[in-house]
Amino acid sequence: MRPIIAPFPSARPRRARQSPAIRAMVRENVVTPSDFIWPVFVREGKGIEEPVPSMPGVMRRTVDLIGAAAKEAYDLGIPAICVFPYTSMEARTEDCAMAWDPDNVANRAIRAIKDAVPEIAVMTDIALDPYNINGHDGFVVDGEIVNDRTVEALVKMALAQAESGAGILGPSDMMDGRIGAMRAALEAEGHQKVMILSYAAKFASSFYGPFRDAVGASAALTGDKNTYQIDPANSDEAIRLIERDLQEGADMVMVKPGMPYLDVCRRVKDTFGAPTFAYQVSGEYAMLQAAAQNGWLDGEKVMMESLMAFKRAGCDGVLTYFAPEAAKLLNG
């Protein structure tokens, strides 16, 4: 589509910018609280709400407090909450068996959220890194992150989360074949309604540092994740992986990180038309918060501008730590 514009002075584009009312009438994209998925961190213990130092305003909460956080989100109009577990080094093992334990902290949090707010959608994270002594998303054998054995474990993890009440599973591991294996297992076990929001285009990014602190993975990680996450230089590869995951049964797809990869978001939406999400990751959040706290940027304005960028790039929604703050602002 090519717009037809008369020559100046017949055309004065500034006429459409002259007042808040006119700007609102011609605005092409809108951000609402229903666009957000709020990532939250849960930990063992009771009555604890501790700040994540590298993510100002973000807390790790114990399971007994997570229901109240979910109710706050729901009351603000946020439709979904995503659970990430914090685990200590002492709790991590080579076999990662805690990952599919029905009573691990993440699965208990799922049940607590659904008990407190049945209407809210609960999303999960599927990867072995919170439970792995090596800090990797898959099993490490002789220094190699092995694929097929990891997929078997991820399927068990997916089933445990579905049985705990999760409605949206978020495989973030980037192993080959895991979406098809999970979808087959969910169908076989009667979980036909459970959705998969695949981290289909997850890049080997340097923007994840604060998140790894938040889940306790920084000290655990040996080496890097370059053999399973996408090279940041590759967008064609991301499109191929999105297509693969949709063919294997993903209901929705995600690009991660978000702002440095808005070009990929646009390509994904234009190519497939599938529900497309982005993750405004910890490093993006921390950058904006740090600049705002130093007075270098207007925090509220850059927060909302950054969220609008995802909608403009074609995203249907965004996982963002700003969700409650942005929702409060949007709600007036």
Is the pLDDT score of 305 beyond 70?
yes
Question: Which pLDDT score is estimated for 222?
Answer: 78
Q: Comparing C-alpha atoms, which of 200, 125, 132, 136 is closest to residue 160?
A: 125
pTM: 0.94
For tokens 């589509």, the residue is 1
- Reported as a single tens digit per residue, the pLDDT across 121-174 is 999 999 999 999 998 999 999 999 999 999 999 999 999 999 999 999 999 999
Instruction: Please tell me which residue, 208 or 18, carries the higher pLDDT value.
Output: 18
Mean pLDDT of 52-81: 96
Distance CA 14, CA 79 (A): 37
**88: pLDDT confidence band, cut at 50, 70 and 90?**
confident
3-state secondary structure of 282: helix
- Reported as a single tens digit per residue, the pLDDT across 181-237 is 999 999 999 999 999 999 999 999 999 887 767 666 656 677 889 999 999 999 999
- Beta carbons of 70 and 81 less than 8 angstroms apart: yes
Question: Which pLDDT score is estimated for 129?
Answer: 93
**243: pLDDT confidence band, cut at 50, 70 and 90?**
very high
CB burial string 247-263: b at 16+ within 10 A, e below = ebbbbbbbbbbbbbbbe
Question: Which pLDDT score is estimated for 2?
Answer: 83
Question: Which pLDDT score is estimated for 218?
Answer: 59
> Which domains are seen in the chain, by residue range?
36-330 (3.20.20.70)
Inter-CA distances, 95 with 40, 138, 143, 150, Å: 25, 10, 15, 10
Q: Which of 114, 202, 225, 311 is catalytic?
A: 202
Question: Which pLDDT score is estimated for 220?
Answer: 67
Q: Which of 114, 156, 225, 256 is catalytic?
A: 256
With a pLDDT cut of 90, the percent of the chain lying above it is 90
Mean pLDDT over the full length of the chain: 95
Q: Quick count: other Cβ atoms within 10 Å of Cβ 273?
A: 9
Is residue 256 part of the annotated active site? The answer reads yes
- Reported as a single tens digit per residue, the pLDDT across 254-300 is 999 999 999 999 999 999 999 999 999 999 999 999 999 999 999 99
Distance CA 317, CA 116 (A): 24
